[in-house]
Structure 1
Amino acid sequence: MINYVQHCDPYQRAQARFLADYIDKKVMETGNLIWCEEREEKEAGKKGFAEFMKQMESELGDKPFFGDNGFGFLDVALITYTPWFKTFEICGDFSIQQDYPKLSSWVKRCLEIESVSKSLADPDNIYNFYLTIKKKRVI
C-alpha cells in the first residue's frame, strides 16, 4: 500500500517535501563528485555522500519504509536514485551494503514491490553509461 504525502498532517507534509528536496540535491551533487578524477573532489563527494546516507539512515530509523504506513512519498523520492549507487560504490571504492545496512535492507524491501522493481533502471546499464561518458571524457 502506498502512503501518499497528502494524507499526513501539514507538518509531516512539509518535512517530507524538505527531505525530498534534500534527496534531489544531495544524491547527484555528491555522486558527480565521486566519479571525478581529481582526488580532492572525489574525497569531498565521498564525504558528502556518507553524510547524506547517515542522515537517511537516521530518518529511516527502525521502520521498514520512510512512510509511517508503508511505502510512500520519501521512499519514491530516494529509490529512484538507487540504480546509481553501484556506480558510486565502484568509483568511490566503498560498499553501501557494508557501510549502510539499514538502507541496503530498505532497498531490498522496496525492490520486492513489483511496480518499483519493474520501473527502475538497471544498475549495470547505469555503470556502462558512466563508462561510455568517461571514455568520451565528458566527465
Structure 2
Amino acid sequence: MSGERVKLLGNWASPSALRVKWTLKLKEIEYEYVEEDLPNKSPLLLKYNPVHKKIPVLVHGGKPIAESLVILEYLDETWKQNPILPEDPYERAQARFWAKFVDEKCAPGIMSAFTKKGEEKEKAAKEARENLKILESGLGEKQFFGGESIGFVDIAAGWIGIWARLVEEIAEVNLIDTVNLIDTETMPVLDTWFKRVLEVPIIKECLPPQDKLLEHNKGFHKMLTGGSRGSS
C-alpha cells in the first residue's frame, strides 16, 4: 500500500500544507505536488474534499485524506520509517493533545490578533500570548516536543515561529516578543525552540520565501481589516 502513488493538493502560503510537506520530506516519501489557487478552487480539490473544500488534501492510491493533522497521522501509520509519533501510548496521547491545542487555541488566537482592530486586537493578542505560554510549558526542558529529534508536535506547531512574526510586524502587536509588556512573561524557551525547529535542514528547505510571504499576508491583512494597518 505504501508504494502507491502519492499526491498533495496544497497552497504555497498555507501553514497546514507546510506541515504535510515537512512530514513527507522527513519520512522520505516521494509525492506529486499540486498547487491550488484558493480563490479559484480546482475541480480536483472539489472532487477530493467535497465536505470542506479546503487544502491540504493527500491523495494516496486514488483515495483522498483531508485535514492536516489527520494526514500526518495517516502518513506515520502507513510509512513506518522515520516515525514522528512516539511508540509509548501515553506519549502519543500527549503529542495529540498538544497538536490539538495548537489548532484549537494557538492558531485561532493568532488569527484573531491578525484580523481585529483597536481594543479587540489587543485583547486577542493577550489571549494568544497566554496560549503560547501554555504551549511553552508543554515543551519543558526538551530540545523538541518529540524529545531529541523533531516529531509530531514540532511539525504541528513549528509554523507559528514564522507566522506569529508576520502577525507581529503586519498587525503591530506583541505575541512572542513580550519584553516590553507588563502583564506577560517573556517566552525565551519557546522562542529558542521555534528557531531550533526552523533550522532543521529538511524543515528549512521547505519554507516559502519570506519576502513573498510577507507581501502576501500584508494584502491578506488589508483585505480582512478593510484597509489600514494598525489600530483604529
Cα distance, 1:27 vs structure 2? 3.0
Q: Does residue 81 of the first structure (1) align with residue 168 of the second (2)?
A: no
2:123 maps to 44
Structure 2 unaligned residues grouped into runs of 5+: 1-25, 27-81, 180-185, 226-232
With over 3 angstroms needed to count, the CA separation of the structure-2 counterparts of 1:100 and 1:6, relative to structure 1, is closer
1:40-90 deviation digits (Å, cap 9, x = unpaired)? 321222122111111111111121111124211111111133221122212
RMSD, aligned α-carbons: 2.3
What fraction of aligned residue pairs are identical, expressed as a percent?
A: 32
Q: State which structure, 1 or 2, has the greater radius of gyration over its C-alpha atoms.
A: 2
On the 8 A contact 1:3/1:71 being kept in 2, the answer is no
Cα distance, 1:115 vs structure 2? 0.4
1:119 maps to 206
With over 3 angstroms needed to count, the CA separation of the structure-2 counterparts of 1:37 and 1:73, relative to structure 1, is closer
Q: Letter of the aligned partner of 2:173 in structure 1?
A: D
Cα distance, 1:125 vs structure 2? 2.9
1:10-64 deviation digits (Å, cap 9, x = unpaired)? 1221121111011112233112221234323212221221111111111111211
Query: More displaced, 96-105 or 58-67?
Result: 96-105
Query: More displaced, 46-55 or 82-91?
Result: 82-91
On the 8 A contact 1:20/1:74 being kept in 2, the answer is yes
1:126 is paired with a residue whose SS is helix
Cα distance, 1:131 vs structure 2? 1.5
Mapped partners of 1:25, 1:126: distance in 2? 23
Mapped partners of 2:152, 2:189: distance in 1? 18
Bigger RCO (CA 8 Å, 6+ sep): 1
With over 3 angstroms needed to count, the CA separation of the structure-2 counterparts of 1:6 and 1:37, relative to structure 1, is closer
Mapped partners of 2:137, 2:114: distance in 1? 26
Higher strand proportion (structure 1 or 2): 2
1:28 maps to 107
Q: Letter of the aligned partner of 2:118 in structure 1?
A: R
1:61 maps to 140
Mapped partners of 1:122, 1:102: distance in 2? 26
Q: What TM-score does the superposition give when structure 1 sets the normalisation length?
A: 0.82
Q: After the TM superposition, which parts of structure 1 deviate over 4 Å for at least 4 consecutive aligned residues?
A: none
Structure 1 unaligned residues grouped into runs of 5+: none
| Count of matched residue positions in the alignment of Structure 1 and Structure 2 | 137
Q: What TM-score does the superposition give when structure 2 sets the normalisation length?
A: 0.52
Higher helix proportion (structure 1 or 2): 1
